[in-house]
C-alpha cells in the first residue's frame, strides 16, 4: 500500500475497482474517487444499505491519552479489522482530515494506531469513535492484547486443522473398508456411506468455517477469491456425496472433501507459521519496550508509553533501556545485542545517544528521553519490518494478477467440464459432477497466490536475524540483480571512531591536549580524551567551531587554526608559548569484517569501489588493506552522485553503501542502497537496507540470499503454473476423483511453502 497514488488492497490486489474485499478497499475507493468521508459514513450507516455500522467504542480513551511536552495529546489504540494497506491508508487519511490531528500512524503487523492532536484529552473518545465509524473495532493498545489476539486466531486455525485431520482419517478408514470390501453387500456399503457422512459433515461444517467465512466476505463484496473456489469444491463434493448416500449410490467422496479441507488448513497453518516467524522479529522489538520506567521525580515507576520526551530516567544495573535517550552520566556500558547483533557490550560516554533495547551491564546511570515509545528507534525498525512483510515487488504483482484471473477461470473450467460430460459424453449429471468437482478443486490457485509472498516473508525474516533490516518493498529484487558495490569510507568501510597514533608528542603533551579536548565533542577531541581517560577536563576552554580550542595562549586545533603547515590525514596540533608544536595524528580503523566483506562481494561477482572525501594517501592505504583496487579520494557529495550516475549509464546496477548526509544523494541515485544503523537518519531514509550489526559481511551474505529468494520465487511460479498445465487436463478427462484432486492441489501448495522455507536456511 502506497500513500502516493492509487491504494491497492493486499488481499485482492485490486487498485480502486468497483467492488472490494475489505473496508479499507471500499473506503480508499471512496476517497480517491472524491466521494468524501461524510458520504462514505452515510453509506456505511445504512443510507444505501451496504453495511451495518459499528457501535461507538465504550471505553474511556480520554484517560489513556498521554500529554506531550509540545502541548499535544497522544493516544495508542489497537484496531481490529486492519487487513491490508488500503485499511491503513483509510484510517490515516480519515484522521488526518481532522483539523486538530497532528499525526496519525497505523501499523498493519501490530494493529497499532498512534494518533496525536492539539487540545484536550477528551478528544480521544471522539477520534476513537471516528475510527469505529469507518468499520473497525478499537480498544486500548497493549502488546499483551496483541499477543492474545494473535494467539486466539492461531488457536482457532490449529483447532480447525486438528478436527479436520481427525475427521479425515476416520472417514478414510470407512472409505478404505468400502474400497477393499469387494464382497460387501449393498446394505453394508450403504451403512458405511452413512457412517462416513455422519463423521464427515460435522467435520466440514466446523473445521471449514475459516474458509467459508473468507469466501462469504468475498462474495458479499462482489469478488471471487481463492476461498470461494475451495469452499465451492468442498461443499459441492459434500452435497454430491450426501445425494449419493441418500439414493444408495455406489460411490461417495466424503474422504475427498475432508482430505481437501485438512490439507488446505495445513497449508494455512504452515503459511501462518512462516509469516509469524518474520512478524516475530517485530513483536520481539515491541517486547523490548514493555514494562515500567523509573522517572526521576516520580514516586512510582511509570509505564513506558506514558513517559514524555525530556523526562530524566534512571536505568538500574541489569535493567533494559526501554526508550531512546541521551546519556547524562559520565559513562555507561550497554549490551545492544538485541538490536544490533553485537556480541560484546559497548561503552558510551556522556552526551552520546542511547538506542532503546540495550541492557545496562554496568553501574546505574541517568539518561534523558529523546523520543516517545511510538516514535523511537524500535518503532521505526518495526515499521521497516512491516514494510518488508507487505512488500509487493514485480514477481508478487505478477502472481497476484494471475491468481485473480485463475479464480473465475477455475469456475468456468469446472462448468465446461460438467456440461461436456453431461451433454456431449452423455453420462448422468451425477457422474458428470465428479470430474467437474475434481477440476474445480485442482485449478484452485492457492499455490500461485502464496508463491512469492512466502519467499518474501521468509527472506526478510532471515535477513533480520543476520542484522540486515529490509526497508524497501523491492529491495530484495534489486539487491539480487546488483553487480557493482560502491563503498563510502568513514563510518562505512571504517568504524568511524578515530584512534590516536603514537609519535610526534610526549606524555606531557598528551595530558595537556586531553585536558583541553575534554571540553569538546568533536570526534578527534573525543579520541584524545579516550587515549588519556584519567585527565580531568580543563575549565575556561573556549571552542572555535570547526577550528580548535583555546585556553589562554594555549591552542589545540587544525594546522590552519594555528598557522602551521598542513599534514596528510587526520591531525590535531598543540601550540604553547615558547615550545615547539606537538602533532597528534589519528587513523580510522577498518571494520573487523571489511576485508572479508570485500572478498565476499567479489566472490559473488560484484565489482567493488571506494569513494571518499578524505586525502588520497589515507584512502589509498585503507583501500589496500581492504583489498579494493578501484578508489577515488577527495570526492564531494556531488562527485559521489555523479559517479553513481556514470556507472548506471554504463549499464551497471550499483549497490551503494554509505552512512553520512553527504552520501544521501548517492544512496538515492543507486540501483539499491544500504546504510549502517549508526549512520544519519537521512542516509537511512534514502536506503533500502539498514545494517543493524555494524558490519559489512552480513550485507555481502544478503546478496546471495536475495538471489536465492528470487530464484525460489521464479521456481514457485513455474511450479504453480506447471502443476496446472498437467493436472487440469487430467481432471477434465475424468482421471482424477475429488480425493485425488484434493491431494494433488494441496501437495502443490505445500511444495511451494517448502521451497520458500529453504531461503531461510543458512
As averages over each run of 10 residues, the pLDDT of the chain (762 residues) reads 40 43 59 57 49 54 76 82 66 85 75 85 86 79 58 76 88 76 73 89 91 76 66 81 81 78 74 56 60 85 84 87 88 72 67 84 88 74 51 46 63 83 81 78 66 74 80 78 88 78 85 87 78 84 78 86 74 87 84 89 92 79 89 80 88 86 72 78 68 82 89 83 80 78 72 78 67
Q: Which three cell numbers stand for residue 65?
A: 491519552
At residue 20, φ and ψ (nearest 5 deg) are -140, 155
pLDDT at 278: 46
* Inside any domain, residue 218: yes
Q: How far apart are CA 154 and CA 635, in angstroms?
A: 54
How far lies 130's CA from each of 50, 96, 115, 127, 262, in Å? 18, 12, 12, 5, 40
Q: What angle do CA 27, 33, 34 make, to 5 degrees?
A: 95
* Inside any domain, residue 668: yes
The CATH number assigned to the domain holding 350 equals: 2.70.150.10
Cα dihedral 56, 59, 60, 62 in deg (nearest 10): -70
* Inside any domain, residue 199: yes
Number of domains observed in the structure of the chain? 5
Asked whether residue 114 falls in the same domain as residue 66, the answer is yes
Domain boundary among 141, 175, 197: 141
In the chain, how long is the greatest CA-to-CA distance? Answer: 120
* Inside any domain, residue 463: no
pLDDT at 313: 92
Asked whether residue 616 falls in the same domain as residue 517, the answer is no
* Inside any domain, residue 569: yes
Q: How far apart are CA 79 and CA 24, in angstroms?
A: 13
Buried residues in 240-277 as b, exposed as e (16+ CB within 10 A): bbbebbeeebebbbbbbbbbbbbbbbbbbbbbbebbeb
pLDDT at 601: 92
pLDDT at 392: 42
| Positions marked catalytic | 488
Asked whether residue 189 falls in the same domain as residue 209, the answer is yes
Shortest CA distance to 666 belongs to which of 681, 687, 649?
687
Residue 272, domain extent = 153-280+390-455+720-760
* Inside any domain, residue 43: yes
Asked whether residue 132 falls in the same domain as residue 161, the answer is no
Q: How far apart are CA 150 and CA 213, in angstroms?
A: 18
Asked whether residue 231 falls in the same domain as residue 96, the answer is no
Report the chain's terminal Cα–Cα distance, integer Å. Answer: 31
* Inside any domain, residue 413: yes
The CATH number assigned to the domain holding 63 equals: 3.30.70.100
The CATH number assigned to the domain holding 626 equals: 3.40.50.1000
How far lies 308's CA from each of 244, 373, 731, in Å? 69, 9, 64
3-class SS at 651?
Answer: coil
* Inside any domain, residue 700: no
Shortest CA distance to 638 belongs to which of 608, 666, 612?
666
Domain boundary among 572, 587, 602: 587
Asked whether residue 594 falls in the same domain as residue 651, the answer is yes
Asked whether residue 162 falls in the same domain as residue 262, the answer is yes
Asked whether residue 128 falls in the same domain as residue 50, the answer is yes
C-beta of residue 24 within 8 angstroms of C-beta of residue 89: yes
Asked whether residue 488 falls in the same domain as residue 527, the answer is no
Asked whether residue 346 falls in the same domain as residue 444, the answer is no
Asked whether residue 490 falls in the same domain as residue 629, the answer is yes
Instruction: Record the pTM.
Output: 0.53
Domain boundary among 141, 173, 200: 141
Asked whether residue 261 falls in the same domain as residue 408, the answer is yes
How crowded is residue 310: how many other Cβ atoms within 10 Å of its Cβ?
A: 10
3-class SS at 294?
Answer: strand
Beta strands at 468-470 and 689-691: parallel, antiparallel or unpaired = antiparallel
Amino acid at each position: 500500500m502506497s500513500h502516493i497514488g492509487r491504494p491497492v488492497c493486499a488481499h485482492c490486489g485490486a487498485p480502486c475497482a468497483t467492488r472490494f474485499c475489505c473496508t479499507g478497499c471500499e473506503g480508499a475507493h471512496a476517497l480517491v474517487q472524491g466521494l468524501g468521508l461524510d458520504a462514505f459514513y452515510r453509506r456505511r450507516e445504512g443510507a444505501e444499505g451496504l453495511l451495518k455500522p459499528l457501535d461507538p467504542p465504550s471505553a474511556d480513551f480520554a484517560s489513556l491519552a498521554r500529554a506531550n511536552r509540545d502541548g499535544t495529546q497522544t493516544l495508542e489504540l489497537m484496531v481490529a479489522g486492519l487487513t491490508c494497506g488500503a485499511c491503513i491508508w483509510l484510517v490515516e487519511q480519515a484522521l488526518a482530515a481532522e483539523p486538530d490531528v497532528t499525526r496519525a500512524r497505523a501499523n498493519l503487523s501490530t494493529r497499532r494506531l498512534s494518533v496525536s492532536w492539539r487540545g484536550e484529552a477528551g478528544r480521544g473518545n471522539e477520534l476513537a469513535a471516528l475510527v469505529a465509524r469507518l468499520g473497525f473495532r478499537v480498544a486500548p493498545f497493549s502488546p499483551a492484547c496483541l499477543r492474545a489476539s494473535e494467539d486466539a486466531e492461531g488457536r482457532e486455525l490449529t483447532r480447525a486443522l486438528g478436527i479436520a485431520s481427525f475427521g479425515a482419517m476416520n472417514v478414510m478408514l470407512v472409505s478404505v473398508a468400502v474400497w477393499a470390501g469387494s464382497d460387501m453387500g449393498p446394505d453394508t456399503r450403504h451403512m458405511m456411506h452413512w457412517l462416513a457422512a455422519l463423521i464427515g459433515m460435522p467435520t466440514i461444517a466446523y473445521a471449514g468455517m475459516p474458509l467459508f467465512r473468507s469466501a462469504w466476505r468475498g462474495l458479499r463484496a462482489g469478488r471471487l477469491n481463492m476461498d470461494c473456489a475451495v469452499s465451492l469444491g468442498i461443499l459441492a463434493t459434500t452435497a454430491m456425496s450426501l445425494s449419493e448416500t441418500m439414493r444408495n449410490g455406489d460411490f461417495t467422496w466424503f474422504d475427498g472433501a475432508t482430505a481437501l479441507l485438512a490439507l488446505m488448513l495445513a497449508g494455512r497453518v504452515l503459511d501462518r507459521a512462516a509469516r509469524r516467524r518474520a512478524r516475530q522479529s517485530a513483536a520481539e522489538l515491541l517486547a523490548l519496550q514493555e514494562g515500567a520506567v523509573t522517572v526521576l521525580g516520580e514516586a512510582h515507576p511509570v509505564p513506558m508509553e506514558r513517559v514524555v520526551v525530556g523526562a530524566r530516567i534512571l536505568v538500574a544495573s541489569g535493567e533494559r533501556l526501554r526508550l531512546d535517550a541521551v546519556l547524562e552520566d559520565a559513562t555507561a556500558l550497554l549490551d545492544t545485542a538485541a538490536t544490533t547483533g553485537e556480541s560484546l557490550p559497548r561503552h558510551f560516554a556522556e552526551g552520546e545517544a542511547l538506542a532503546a533495547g540495550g541492557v545496562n551491564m554496568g553501574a546505574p546511570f541517568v539518561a534523558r528521553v529523546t523520543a516517545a515509545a511510538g516514535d523511537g528507534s524500535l518503532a521505526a525498525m518495526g515499521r521497516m519490518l512491516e514494510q518488508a512483510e507487505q512488500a509487493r515487488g514485480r514477481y508478487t504483482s505478477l502472481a497476484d494478477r494471475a491468481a485473480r484471473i485463475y479464480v473465475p477461470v477455475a469456475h468456468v473450467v469446472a462448468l465446461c467440464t460438467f456440461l461436456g460430460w453431461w451433454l456431449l459424453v452423455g453420462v448422468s449429471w451425477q457422474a458428470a459432477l465428479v470430474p467437474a468437482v475434481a477440476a474445480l478443486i485442482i485449478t484452485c490457485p492457492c499455490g500461485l497466490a502464496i508463491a512469492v509472498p512466502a519467499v518474501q516473508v521468509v527472506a526478510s525474516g532471515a535477513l533480520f536475524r543476520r542484522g540486515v533490516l529490509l526497508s524497501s518493498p523491492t529491495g530484495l529484487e534489486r539487491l539480487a540483480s546488483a553487480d557493482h558495490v560502491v563503498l563510502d569510507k568513514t563510518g562505512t568501510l571504517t568504524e568511524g571512531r578515530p584512534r590516536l597514533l603514537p609519535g610526534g608528542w610526549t606524555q606531557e603533551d598528551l595530558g595537556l591536549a586531553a585536558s583541553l579536548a575534554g571540553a569538546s565533542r568533536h570526534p578527534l577531541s573525543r579520541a584524545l580524551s579516550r587515549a588519556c581517560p584519567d585527565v580531568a577536563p580543563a575549565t575556561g576552554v573556549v571552542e572555535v567551531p570547526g577550528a580548535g580550542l583555546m585556553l589562554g595562549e594555549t591552542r589545540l586545533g587544525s594546522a590552519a587554526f594555528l598557522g602551521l603547515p598542513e599534514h596528510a590525514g587526520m591531525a590535531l596540533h598543540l601550540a604553547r608559548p615558547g615550545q615547539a608544536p606537538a602533532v597528534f595524528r589519528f587513523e580510522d580503523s577498518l571494520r573487523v569484517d571489511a576485508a572479508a566483506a570485500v572478498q565476499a562481494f567479489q566472490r559473488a561477482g560484484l565489482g567493488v569501489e571506494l569513494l571518499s572525501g578524505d586525502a588520497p594517501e589515507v584512502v589509498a592505504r585503507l583501500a589496500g588493506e581492504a583489498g579494493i583496487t578501484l578508489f577515488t579520494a577527495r570526492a564531494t557529495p556531488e562527485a559521489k552522485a555523479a559517479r553513481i550516475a556514470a556507472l548506471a549509464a554504463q549499464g551497471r546496477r550499483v549497490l551503494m553503501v554509505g552512512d553520512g548526509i553527504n552520501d544521501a544523494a548517492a544512496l538515492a541515485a543507486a540501483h539499491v542502497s544500504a546504510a549502517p544503523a549508526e549512520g544519519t537518519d537521512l542516509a537511512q531514509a534514502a536506503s533500502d537496507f539498514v545494517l543493524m550489526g555494524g558490519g559489512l559481511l552480513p550485507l555481502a551474505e544478503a546478496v546471495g540470499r536475495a538471489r536465492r529468494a528470487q530464484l525460489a520465487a521464479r521456481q514457485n511460479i513455474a511450479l504453480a503454473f506447471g502443476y496446472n498445465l498437467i493436472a487440469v487436463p487430467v481432471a477434465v478427462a475424468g482421471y482424477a476423483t475429488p480425493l485425488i484432486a484434493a491431494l494433488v492441489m494441496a501437495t502443490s501448495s505445500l511444495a511451494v511453502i517448502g521451497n520458500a522455507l529453504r531461503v531461510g536456511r543458512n
